[in-house]
Amino acid sequence: MGFFSGLFLTGAAIGLTTMMAKNRRANEKASKEFEEWEKELLRDMNRREEEDRKRRSIICKYDKIITRNVFEDIAFKCAKRIKRISDIKIGNGTVKATVSSQSGISEWEFVLDFNDYGKFTGSYWLERENFDSEIPERLGSMIQDATDEYIKKHTLPSEKYKKRNESL
């Protein structure tokens, strides 16, 4: 092996070593950044879970128009229109539904939570086991639409005018 070949191999070894050291430092930096991101994500998830527990723990209070009985009646009527819903339970502003699978062999559940820090607002949070089905969103939308329609029918014209002016 000649002088230049040895020099070339030495230079290549040094270059490779330097490149490996840079890669190692880059990997260490990326690993630390990932760990920090992961910790922040977990802190955020814990904050959200705690806030969700707080929101749910407040007893849902209905208003003069949408009473508990009216809400339950609306939820039951809407659920009856979806054939695969086999059971429904309502309490504290939540609707827990059991859905039969398409084959009828198994069942899965979802919860529509209309309790917004103790108030019934018509908006809902959704918990589900089956992310492929549109049934939870469909029932949620049906209940929202039915409660909106009920409010429109049972609100006096003067109350509608007052609410419209308050929003301006």
Separation CA 28–CA 33 (nearest Å): 9
Of 70-74, 140-144, 163-167, give the lowest mean pLDDT range: 163-167
Q: For residue range 117-139, list pLDDT tens digits in order.
A: 888 888 899 999 889 999 999 99
Q: Facing residues of 61 across strands? A: 119
Of 22-26, 67-71, 160-164, give the lowest mean pLDDT range: 160-164
Are the C-beta atoms of 68 and 87 separated by less than 8 Å? Answer: no
Query: What pLDDT does 143 receive?
Result: 96
Q: Facing residues of 94 across strands? A: 91, 113
pLDDT band at 55 (very low <50, low <70, confident <90, very high): confident
* pLDDT average, residue stretch 47-54: 79
Query: What pLDDT does 162 receive?
Result: 55
Query: What pLDDT does 13 receive?
Result: 66
Query: What pLDDT does 90 receive?
Result: 93
Are the C-beta atoms of 94 and 34 separated by less than 8 Å? Answer: no
Between the alpha carbon of residue 28 and those of residues 14, 17, 23, 128, 157, the distances in Å are: 21, 16, 8, 38, 67
Query: What pLDDT does 20 receive?
Result: 77
Direct distance between the N- and C-terminal alpha carbons of the chain, in angstroms, rounded to an integer = 89
pLDDT band at 71 (very low <50, low <70, confident <90, very high): very high
Residue 11 has pLDDT above 70, yes or no: no
H-helix or E-strand containing 120?
strand 119-128
